[in-house]
Amino acid sequence: MGEGLRKDGIAPGRLPADQYAANFGDLHPPLARHEALVEADRCYFCFDAPCQTACPTSIDIPMFIREILTDNPLGAAETIFEQNILGGMCARVCPTEQLCEEACVRETAEGKPVKIGQLQRYATDTAMAAEAQFFTRAAPTGKRVAVVGAGPAGLAAAHRLALHGHDVVIHDGRPKPGGLNEYGIASYKAPGGFAQAEVDYVTALGGISIETGKLLGEDFTLAELGGSFDAVFLGLGLGGVNALRAEGEDADGVDNAIDFIATLRQADDLAALPVGRRVVVIGGGMTAVDAAVQSRLLGAEEVTIVYRRGKEHMNASGYEQDLAASKGVTIRHWLAPRRVLTEAGRVSGIELGYMALDETGALRPTGETTVIACDQVFKAIGQTLATDGGGVALAGGKIAVDAEGRTSMPGVWAGGDCAAGGDDLTVTAVAEGRDAAESIHRFLSGGSNG
Ligand SMILES: Cc1cc2nc3c(=O)[nH]c(=O)nc-3n(C[C@H](O)[C@H](O)[C@H](O)COP(=O)(O)OP(=O)(O)OC[C@H]3O[C@@H](n4cnc5c(N)ncnc54)[C@H](O)[C@@H]3O)c2cc1C
Ligand code: SF4
């Protein structure tokens, strides 16, 4: 039995002690002032800018880039935060290559977009470091709103509601606020405790209190909230995990990618975190890529992502797939799990069936199989709604909402991953939380909730 990288089974301490900090450091170092000025100078300040249209929160991108160019990063931050109060996290985690930067005319013309995400980070980091606050609450309205879920959707909703003068209490089942910003996003995208710093920045506005360790459905009900608050916003995210539906999935060494990532995000000592020598991750989305890359960074010798369809069908962007490849992760397509193989009750491999599209376009097993030897299997095949909150109507397994985020229950709104429609992205959750808050504000100001 080898040591370190070559130690069989699932073991901690695969790397030299000083390697962990280097592996989990910032994926993209921030731009220095002169780099930001040079990059901002590449922008054409387009009229009807396609980058702005492509941003789910509609940030005035040409405006904030011009403010950076005139050496006014605080003004730029204000422009960003007006639309997206979590602009700091979005600058780090947005798949910009599929959103603003894909739409940038410089991308179309020369294949090299303006680095909008990096510039956004430059502006927002400058403002947060200076503790600059740009917004003042309206006079108190005397109305109280309960927000359930302190993820991006809940935080964005809470900020906008507090801005309008309402008092907001956020309830979250986890010990820390931030949602997947704190427990899900890959460590190298937001290192240095950024998620908590951002929660502090958002709540510094005032009028927002956060109660953690309080689970809707266990510690309180929607009916109780309805009795003591004037409106409720649900930003519950997706707490459930899909099953593999493969024989042997309960074996020791088969784990949820989401739980692995959450543990990793909360670990004080990464060297103490066990990981397999050979890891197989089942799935094709961002969670699969993050679990695979972080397994490699923890010292797993061989990491393979297995996805049942082709490269072009993967939810993980081309950029994320390239990132995985650059970290030494192998991605294999057209393979679905059939059976987890075990020796003495522990994972020793996974049997996979080859898949293909038939003439009707349906995915079918071809009947051929293959085996990948491994010590650990991560399931990353999608998340599901863990609770309907106590009676709101669902659509397609998520909470049904109208264009303003209103649920089937009067006085209750929802947004972010738990709500039907929209991409499961941080920036979309922010946009939906913010827009639902505007709808709640209209309702509390005497309008109707439908
Ligand atoms: C591993 C992973 C990596 C990702 N990487 C990216 C990325 O790089 N870029 C990107 O744009 N998006 C990424 N995403 C998606 C992104 O994190 C989500 O779209 C976003 O966090 C959704 O925000 P939300 O507020 O709707 O939900 P969440 O962030 O999930 O927050 C929901 C909150 O509600 C709380 N909650 C749930 N149920 C209850 C209850 N019953 N009572 C009380 N509180 C409750 C939870 O504790 C949580 O704090 C990733 C997702 C995962 C899983
Ligand atoms: S599309 Fe590109 S060049 Fe045009 S305003 Fe946006 S960032 Fe600038």
Please list the pLDDT of the chain residue by residue as tens digits (450 residues): 567 778 889 999 999 999 999 999 998 889 999 999 999 999 999 999 999 999 999 999 999 999 999 999 999 999 999 999 999 999 999 999 999 999 999 999 999 999 999 999 999 999 999 999 999 999 999 999 999 999 999 999 999 999 999 999 999 999 999 999 999 999 999 999 999 999 999 999 999 999 999 999 999 999 999 999 999 999 999 988 888 888 888 999 999 999 999 999 999 999 999 999 999 999 999 999 999 999 999 999 999 999 999 999 999 999 999 999 999 999 999 999 999 999 988 999 999 999 999 999 999 999 999 999 999 999 999 899 988 777 899 999 999 999 999 999 999 999 999 999 988 999 999 999 999 999 999 999 986 554
Cα(156) to ligand 1 centroid in Å equals 13
Q: 68: Cβ below 6 Å to ligand 2?
A: no
Angle between helices 152-163 and 426-444 (to 10 degrees): 30
**pLDDT for the residue numbered 391:** 83
Q: What is the token pair recorded at 146?
A: 């309960």
Question: 271 and 296 in contact (C-beta within 8 Å)?
Answer: no
Cα(129) to ligand 2 centroid in Å equals 26
**pLDDT for the residue numbered 322:** 95
Longest dimension (CA), the chain: 71
**pLDDT for the residue numbered 2:** 67
Q: What is the token pair recorded at 354?
A: 């080859």
Cα(424) to ligand 1 centroid in Å equals 9
Cα(314) to ligand 1 centroid in Å equals 20
Q: 43: Cβ below 6 Å to ligand 2?
A: yes
In degrees, to the nearest 5, what angle opens at C-alpha 338 toward C-alphas 337 and 342?
A: 95
Q: Which ligand is nearest to the CA of 398?
A: 1
Q: 127: Cβ below 6 Å to ligand 2?
A: no
By the 10 Å C-beta count (0-12 exposed, 13-18 middle, 19+ buried), 326 is classed as exposed
Q: What is the token pair recorded at 111?
A: 């294949």
255 Cβ contact list (under 8 Å, min separation 6): 376, 377, 378, 379
In degrees, to the nearest 5, what angle opens at C-alpha 380 toward C-alphas 215 and 267?
A: 60
Q: Which ligand is nearest to the CA of 69?
A: 2
DSSP lists the bridge partners of residue 216 as: 220
CB atoms within 10 A of CB 34: 8
Cα(315) to ligand 1 centroid in Å equals 17
Can you tell me the distance from the alpha carbon of 265 to that of 178, in angstroms, rounded to the nearest whole number? 12
**pLDDT for the residue numbered 112:** 96
Q: Whose CA is nearest to atom 2 of ligand 2?
A: 104
Q: Whose CA is nearest to atom 8 of ligand 2?
A: 43
CA 321 to chain centre: 16
Can you tell me the distance from the alpha carbon of 107 to that of 114, in angstroms, rounded to the nearest whole number? 8
Q: Whose CA is nearest to atom 6 of ligand 2?
A: 51
Whole-structure pTM value: 0.96
Q: Which ligand is nearest to the CA of 102?
A: 2
**pLDDT for the residue numbered 287:** 95
Residue 219 CA: which ligand 1 atom is closest? 42
Question: 187 and 25 in contact (C-beta within 8 Å)?
Answer: no
